[in-house]
Amino acid sequence: MRNTGSNKSTVPSSRAFETRLSDYDFYIPDVTGDNTGLAFCVAYNALERSRDDYKESCTHVASMLCSVVPEFRNSIEKKLNGLGIRPHFVSLPSQACENNIVLSNIPELDRSSILVIFGYCILCLFKVDNELFNLHLFTDWMGRNLRIERINELRETVGCPNHLPSLPFEGSTESSIANTLGTHSFRGFVINFLFNSLYHPDPLIGSLCQYLSDVLCRSSRVKPHFFELNFGTISKFVTFLFGSNDISDCIW
């Protein structure tokens, strides 16, 4: 981790963020391509050591999101700048040695595990279950752990084996993701991606986007963005829901 700003930060309050930019490592795949998910794995591993610094945590989560969906990068980089963060891009695997990253020490994640964690990040952005963000309340009235319920749903959606840790993040990290990265504008960008990827040529991504879109709609998280979506995007989702592109059929 590279930080030229202040020392450890706490989860942000409503006060204005400082304008001074601090450098934090942001892991990206080499331009030649990397289908191993290495950047995601390095960021996820680093996240385990950054839970006392919300800026560092959010930078790692942002890196994880962008390693799965590179189209998020421009939007999320602007958001990080607004938080006082200047991403220091580390291209992997080519720049691992110069950044003191020992790749043999990085736990590997298979593709389905990466998609489960990615999906969980998206749900955190939207605060789908408000209970997830109350550090003292992790169960519903039936005594079910809501966070584990979501993880299990995501595992089933992408066919993930059970070796993935039950909870990718601590509650404080989930709160940081929601409060800093989960802005209205970025949420709208994510919804556009999900709706336009319902029938993605990669069946795992398509299934994940269908699940996430369904959850967001059922939790009323799409409604604030509905009129910001273009007609083609809305039509795709209505067709997915009802087998018809008649928007009058859609009940939000």
Tens of pLDDT along 98-120? 999 999 999 999 999 999 999 99
User: HSE on the CB side for 142, CA within 13 Å?
Assistant: 4
Residue 148: is its pLDDT beyond 70?
A: yes
Across 6-10, 111-115, 189-193, least confident range: 6-10
Mean pLDDT taken over the chain: 79
- pLDDT the model gives residue 244: 44
Confidence of residue 87 (pLDDT cuts 50, 70, 90): very high
Backbone angles phi, psi at 34, to 5 degrees: -155, 115
pLDDT at 173 over 60: yes
Q: What does each C-alpha distance from 238 to 7, 29, 201, 208, 213 come to in angstroms?
A: 48, 34, 19, 17, 11
Chain segment 18-74, per-residue pLDDT in tens? 457 899 999 999 988 777 899 999 999 998 887 678 889 999 999 999 999 999 999
Closest Cα to residue 62, out of 153, 158, 173, 154?
A: 173
Task: For residue 12, give the DSSP letter.
Answer: -
Least confident of 134-143, 146-155, 163-172, 184-193: 134-143
CB 171 within 8 A of CB 209: no
Residue 4 has pLDDT above 50, yes or no: no
pLDDT interval class at 96 (50, 70, 90):
very high
Q: Among 8, 184, 235, 165, which Cα is nearest to 79's?
A: 184
Provide the pLDDT for residue 128. 76
pLDDT above 50: residue 95: yes
Q: How far, in Å, CA of 229 to CA of 176, rounded?
A: 27
Contact 96, 30 (CB under 8 A): no
- Predicted local distance difference test score (pLDDT) of residue 17: 43
User: Can you read off the two tokens belonging to residue 122?
Assistant: 């998206």
Residues 78, 100: Cα–Cα separation, whole Å: 27
Mean pLDDT, range 148-155, rounded to an integer: 87
Question: How many angstroms separate the CA atoms of 92 and 108, rounded?
Answer: 14
Better pLDDT: 17 or 242: 242
Distances (CA, A) of 125 to 31, 36, 162: 28, 25, 24
How high is the pLDDT of residue 32?
83
Q: What percentage of the chain carries pLDDT values higher than 70? A: 71
Q: What is the mean pLDDT of residues 154-166?
A: 81
Over residues 6-10, the mean pLDDT reads: 49
**Overall average pLDDT of the 199-222 stretch:** 87
